Amino acid sequence: MKTRSTFVAVLLAFVLWGGPSLAAGATPFAFPAMDGWTLAGRLQVFSPDMLYEYIDGGADLYLKYDFEELQVIEYRKEKMSVSAEVYRHRDADHAFGIYSQERVPSADFLALGAQGYYENAVCNFIQGGYYVKLSSENTGSDDREILLAFARRISQELPAQTALPAILSAFPSDGKKPNSEKFIAKDFLGYAFFHSGFIADYDRSGQKYQLFVISGDSPDDARAMLGQYLKQIKQEMNLAEGTYELKDPYQGEMALFWKGKYIWGTMKVTDPGLRSAYLKQFEGILIP
Amino acid sequence: MEQKRVMGRRDFLKTTTTGLGGFAYLSANLTRPPDAPDKFEGTRVLGRTGIRMPIVSMGVMNTDNPQLVRAALDAGYVFLDTAQGYQRGTNESMLGEILKDRPRDSFFIATKASLPKDQTTGGYGPDATEEAYTKKIDTSLKSLGLDYIDIYHHHGTWTRGATLHGPILSALQKAKQAGKIRWIGVSTHRNEPEVVEAATDSKVYDVALAAYNFRQQHAAEVQKAIARAAGAGLGIVGMKSMGGNRGGAYASTQIDARACIKWVLQDPSVATVICGFTTFDQMTLDLAILKDLTLTASEREQLRKASLAAGLYCQGCGACVGQCRQVLPIPDLMRAHMYLYGYRNLVAAQDLVLSLALPNTVCGDCGACPVACTNRWNVSERVRDVIRLRDVPTSFFA
């Protein structure tokens, strides 16, 4: 008991001193008041170990994206209701990652936060390390405007980080399916040694394939990842920066390029000329 | 990398008319001599469905990589588990793209959906109608691009009342009669014994998908409930075998996934375990369990050490509910305690405590606390500890 009292006192001292109870860089969030709307029920807060209580098995994926905290509240106005969920992740890349897992490329995209969309009584957006999910009931024909008003107001309470991850600009535009980019936080391409990466879908004259970028922590990290990959697919060779044309037993034709801390590549692109062109376009952006 | 095909998928899907006979088969295999692992076929019968399937199955929830799913099906996995809520439906549609090129009798698929519940009581409101749930089933069919779904789980219930919610049961029964689904299931991640008991009593459910792992303080109760359910003919599917994400940051002790999966499969009531692998290597390693279920000495030691560490957090078993003379929300207070001492998150702990509308005097005049926690915690001490956050101005944490 005494130990715990001391612990609380020390924690409070940290708070007063300015020490973080949130992750470094995270900004405390509080739901705003909305004119004419009242709060129904209590604020619910879920930490990583309790997220199962709210989204059941879906929690696993959020945990992969370094989920830190979820706050949930419901607003009501007569028969209308809006449920607001604010997920905080470790950083903007991870918030984009989980958002990218759930967005539908055909949705009605909006200039909201870094990106958002409206679809069938749902409005979701990301901003900084936050992923905001709004849903409505009984809002009738005004549904879109109501959800957008909530989204814009909540956006004002979040950190003013309104850009998508910069690395997305490295993806060549020729053939890229809009809003198909994803950030995979762990086990990229199904291999544990590729710790994370960005990937996008392409469709060119009916040929479907994917392009990707892995950003290592350093050139040595990228080299180590490439070495492990070549060992995994049993095509070990001397490592040097440059192009690798490979056959992945699970994923087919692979073309990789390693330079500095980056590995980028194409998957299932059968035209050698197109592979080469894509790899060069990546290089032009990633290695200026 | 050459993939070793353990057995043909269609072989697994041959039905038997002797569902309970399958358990006799399993029992015989589980007591096999340790020097004869190759004779273990790695299949069990899923209760009254009569479907014989591999004892390890793929939970697709953690991956968006279609190549991983294709590789799993090619390697010998048969049973795919998804949910309408996973990746807002994109998990189901990804599977639809993969499965459209495969014979319908070469795979077995379960998906699940729920309707909004009161997060405090776990009960459904008036909006949880038969029509609303039927729409969920139809949405899954469309996303998966299938004429029928093998198992449709009533997803994520934790109370008897919600499990037996009439409109949802009616929707499921009508979908079964219409041939949209073959079997009716229920899935539960907490308070599993109550849910499984309710499913058994319902005479409606064919399958129960339950969190079941060595970290659960109430694992014995789970075991008892699923034994009764299996005896009544329900097919039992295990999940959350690691008690958290796969060896991730929130698993209190790092442990080999195969040890956890094998631990669940030592229980002959469990027909198969959902494995949420995300790499090709994990896929191959998990599949190797089909060949031999024996826990190695190393795996037993890992389980022992991890079990010791498991008592740190509230398991959400619900056994304490109703025991407090002041009718305090003990699980919520234990959660607040965990935020405070487990995660060092004062904001979350205080928010939760303040939201509970507690009486001014808490644990004041009770004398001996009657609350018996399955973790053997001193609940009143923990309550007194955490409610002191009420006295701290919220501005301290802003």
Provide ipTM, 2 decimals: 0.81
Chain B contact for A85 (CB, 8 A cutoff): no
d(CA A118, CA A131): 14
Whether B317 is in a domain gets the answer: no
d(CA B6, CA B55): 12
Instruction: Beginning with the edge strand found earlier in the chain, give each strand of the sheet holding A182-184 in spatial order.
Output: A182-184, A197-204, A207-215, A262-267, A252-259, A242-248
Is the pLDDT at B39 greater than 60, yes or no? no
Domain that holds residue B385: 330-397
Which residues of chain A make contact with B83, given a CB cutoff of 8 A? 56-58
The total number of structural domains that make up chain B:
2
Question: Between the CA of residue A49 and those of A8, A70, B121, B222, B320, what are the distances in Å?
Answer: 21, 11, 20, 20, 19
A161-179 burial, b at 16+ Cβ within 10 Å, e below that, comes to bbebbebbebbbeebbeeb
Q: Which of A1, A4, A62 to mutate to test the interface with B (most CBs of B within 10 A)?
A: A4
Sequence-ordered list of residues with C-beta below 8 angstroms from that of B136, at least 6 positions apart, any chain: B84, B113, B114, B115
The pLDDT value recorded for residue A53 is 75
Q: Per-residue pLDDT averaged across B378-393, rounded?
A: 86
Whether B312 is in a domain gets the answer: no
Interface of A with B in 5-34 (CB under 8 A): 5, 7-8, 11-12, 15-16, 21-22, 28
Whether A14 is in a domain gets the answer: no
Specify the residue for token string 């669940």.
B264
Report the CATH number that the domain containing residue A136 is assigned in CATH.
3.40.1000
∠ CA A204-A207-A213, nearest 5°, is 75
**A147 and A80 within one domain:** yes
Whether the CA torsion B263, B264, B265, B267 is positive or negative: it is positive
pLDDT in tens, B203-248: 999 999 999 998 887 888 999 999 999 999 999 999 988 875 434 4
Three-state DSSP class for A277? helix
Exposed/middle/buried for residue A34 (C-beta within 10 Å: 0-12, 13-18, 19+) = middle
Report the CATH number that the domain containing residue B105 is assigned in CATH.
3.20.20.100
Which residues of chain A make contact with B379, given a CB cutoff of 8 A? none
| Residue A86 or residue B253, greater confidence | A86
The pLDDT value recorded for residue B3 is 38
pLDDT in tens, B42-61: 999 999 999 999 999 999 98
The total number of structural domains that make up chain A:
2
**B381 and B296 within one domain:** no
**B383 and B271 within one domain:** no
Which residues of chain A make contact with B381, given a CB cutoff of 8 A? 1
- B61, A58: Cβ pair inside 8 Å? yes
**B232 and B300 within one domain:** yes
The pLDDT value recorded for residue A26 is 52
- Boundary of a domain, candidates A104, A124, A156: A156
The pLDDT value recorded for residue B121 is 84
Is the pLDDT at B192 greater than 70, yes or no? yes
| Smallest CA–CA distance from B398 into chain A, residue | A28
- B87, A61: Cβ pair inside 8 Å? yes
**A258 and A187 within one domain:** yes
**A139 and A171 within one domain:** no
pLDDT tier at B365, thresholds 50, 70, 90 = confident
What is the pTM assigned to this prediction?
0.77
Whether A17 is in a domain gets the answer: no
In chain B, the percentage of residues whose pLDDT exceeds 90 is 49
Is the pLDDT at B23 greater than 70, yes or no? no
Q: Please give the helix or strand (H or E) that residue B149 lies within, else none.
A: strand B149-154
Asked if A268 contacts A251 with a C-beta cutoff of 8 angstroms, the reply is yes
Q: Per-residue pLDDT averaged across B361-387, rounded?
A: 83
**Å from A288 to nearest chain B CA?**
31
The pLDDT value recorded for residue B362 is 87
**B154 and B111 within one domain:** yes
pLDDT tier at B260, thresholds 50, 70, 90 = very high
pLDDT in tens, B121-153: 889 999 899 999 999 999 999 999 999 999 999
Q: Which of A50, A52, A101 sits opposite B335 (nearest CB)?
A: A50
Whether B264 is in a domain gets the answer: yes
Kindly report the average pLDDT of chain B as a whole number: 83
| Residue B367 or residue B144, greater confidence | B144
**A146 and A35 within one domain:** yes
Report the CATH number that the domain containing residue A242 is assigned in CATH.
3.40.1000.20
Domain that holds residue A218: 166-286
Whether B325 is in a domain gets the answer: no
DSSP classification of residue B314:
-
- B278, A190: Cβ pair inside 8 Å? yes
pLDDT in tens, B9-19: 444 444 332 23
Whether A10 is in a domain gets the answer: no
**Å from B177 to nearest chain A CA?**
28
In chain B, the percentage of residues whose pLDDT exceeds 70 is 82
The pLDDT value recorded for residue A27 is 55
Question: Between the CA of residue A151 and those of A89, A97, A119, A155, what are the distances in Å?
Answer: 18, 20, 13, 6
Beta bridge partners of B170: none
The pLDDT value recorded for residue B122 is 87
B317-338 burial, b at 16+ Cβ within 10 Å, e below that, comes to bbbbeeebeeebbbbbbbbbbb
d(CA A68, CA A282): 33
**A221 and A105 within one domain:** no
Whether the CA torsion A58, A59, A63, A65 is positive or negative: it is positive
User: Which residues, given as ranges, of chain A have pLDDT below 70?
Assistant: 1-27
Q: Which of B39, B49, B42, B38 is nearest to B14 (CA)?
A: B49
Q: Note the helical H segments in chain A.
A: 2-17, 51-55, 59-64, 92-102, 143-156, 219-232, 272-286
Listed range (B24-33, B49-58, B153-162, B256-265) with the worst mean pLDDT: B24-33
Q: Which of B65, B81, B98, B274 to mutate to test the interface with A (most CBs of A within 10 A)?
A: B65
| Residue B36 or residue A147, greater confidence | A147
**A265 and A170 within one domain:** yes
Which residues of chain B make contact with A53, given a CB cutoff of 8 A? 119, 189-190, 316
Phi-psi category of A121—alpha, beta or left, where left has phi over 0 and alpha has psi -120 to 50? left
